Amino acid sequence: MSKIDRRILKSKQAIRVAFVNLLMERGFDEITIKDIAEQADIARKTFYLHYLDKFDLLEQLVDEHLSELRIICDQKQEKELIEGTIIWFNYFDARKDFFKALFKSNSTLSFRKKLLDFTMGELKKKIYPLSDSNKMIDQEILLKFLGIAVMGIIESFVLEEINGDTAIVAQQVGKLVQRNI
């Protein structure tokens, strides 16, 4: 088993910390590789040793967040829908600044698509088989409807367009999902 060079880990960590700080400070669209390199105190060449561009860096960070969400979703399988929704919203609340910067950006369409696909996948586990009242509704339309609705509430919550305690907002979202499945 090969050991990863600690310098590589330190460089990647410095790049990620610099990127997230700049993301929250300026927004994705305003960040340049030069800005990241200066903030991380590395050469631009070092950045390119690890990432293709800022989109590649963003994609890797988003994938890491989705992996963390996957673990949370797997752990909350035994919980009721509303209790699990609260856990999910707490995750976004704890990382609100990061997600706020992504939702505000015009260039983060891939993040939105990945989050929607992830959300729909989790909803799919909860709603199948469909209740008798929903058997006449196309399954893909129902999934897309609920996924976009949940994502819209998460976005509004992260952007602080919806005020309220995380648990209360999450409970209401959970109840709305339950009504529609």
Of the CA atoms within 13 Å of residue 105, those in its CB half-sphere come to: 24
Cβ atoms 152, 159 nearer than 8 A? no
pLDDT band at residue 107 using 50, 70 and 90 as cut-offs: confident
- State the Cα–Cα distance between residues 177 and 142, nearest whole angstrom: 11
- The pLDDT tens digits for 71-80 are 988 887 788 8
- The pLDDT tens digits for 4-29 are 788 888 999 999 999 999 988 888 88
Burial class of residue 98 in the structure, from the number of CB atoms within 10 Å of its CB (0-12 exposed, 13-18 middle, 19+ buried): middle
Q: Could you tell me which of 51, 69, 62, 52 has the C-alpha nearest to residue 23?
A: 62
Cβ atoms 172, 80 nearer than 8 A? no
pTM, two decimals, is 0.79
- The pLDDT tens digits for 141-162 are 888 999 999 999 999 999 999 9
Structure tokens that stand for 24 in this block: 């929250």
Structure tokens that stand for 164 in this block: 């309220």
pLDDT band at residue 133 using 50, 70 and 90 as cut-offs: low
CB atoms within 10 A of CB 101: 20
pLDDT for residue 51 is more than 80: yes
Structure tokens that stand for 17 in this block: 């910390």
